[in-house]
Homo-oligomer: A and B are copies of this chain.
Amino acid sequence: MTDAPLTISDRIQRQLDDLTRAERQLAHSILENYPASGLGPLSALAKDAQVSVPTVARMVQKLGFNGYPEFQTELREELKAKAKDPIAKHDTWAGGAPSGHILNRFTDAVIDNIRHTLGQIDPQDFDTACAMAANTKRHLFIVGGRVTHTLAEYLFLHMQVIRPRITHIQSTSNTWPHYLLDVKPGDVFIIFDMRRYENNTLKLAEMAHAKGAKLILFTDQWRSPVHQLAQISFSSRIVVPSAWDSAATPLLLLETMVAAVQDLTWGDTKDRMEALEDMFDQTKLFRKFT
């Protein structure tokens, strides 16, 4: 471990706390696409970060450089060194860690899962599912199991802002028969069921299905038995180098769905959102005006 090159990126991050608001904003902008943006003219960098020109000049001084040109020179040196490095760390995600480190192995697996999963998704199915989730004429039920109820709740928290007529059911609870009384034909269930598949969830799906509800299922690559009842199923690859499965890919799908539903209903829910935003608004960490 002789290498102590301490890149500028490192230095910026280390000093992040000593920086002022505008400077931090600038710092993030630099790191955003590093190092390219720092190699351009100072004024361009300033405009990009929406701070004034002197702010940039002051920050590079704070970082210990004698001026912007010196800062750039060092950036170029860094770039040169990186290009020459025979074992460029291009194939690792976490810079300083060996490729065998769990951070890199795990991330590799997740990216791979995402690629596989997305490759097998039918976009039309997805669009249909989003339309169903956006339809406020129908009641929307969200169902999760022992572990997956966290995903279900995450979805619920967001959909709650987007649309009314929505219920979160935890399949392990014994209160759910109550909810089912009100289910009408055409209502929509979004169900999460990953291995190991839960009897309760299946049972609930069956009853919902019997009542004429439409089911959308988020499951894993082996597919929960619920998928036979579901109108649309999304199967995620979830295997990672761990004793447990990864929820990252289903979460990605779920968040994408939230974004899509949001787009579909924007007109209706804009006010709804703003009202809620205000309610939660308590911090002013972000600049108000330029």
Contact = CB atoms under 8 A, between A and B. Distances in A.
Contacts of A242: 255-256, 258-259, 262
Given A79-B36, A93-B118, A244 B259 contact: yes
A119 B93 contact: yes
Interface in A106-153: 106-107, 110-111, 114-116, 118-124, 126, 146-147, 150-151, 153
Contacts of A147: 154, 157
A13 interface: yes
Contacts of A154: 147, 150, 247
Q: Give the size category of A's interface with B.
A: 35 or more
Given A150-B154, A196-B282, A258-B244, A76 B40 contact: yes
Q: How many copies does the complex hold?
A: 2
Interface of A: 9, 13, 16-17, 24, 28, 31, 33-37, 39-41, 69, 72-73, 76-77, 79-80, 83-84, 86-87, 90, 93-97, 101-104, 106-107, 110-111, 114-116, 118-124, 126, 146-147, 150-151, 153-154, 157-158, 172, 174, 176-177, 195-200, 203, 221-223, 228, 240-244, 246-248, 251-252, 255-256, 258-260, 262-263, 273, 280-290
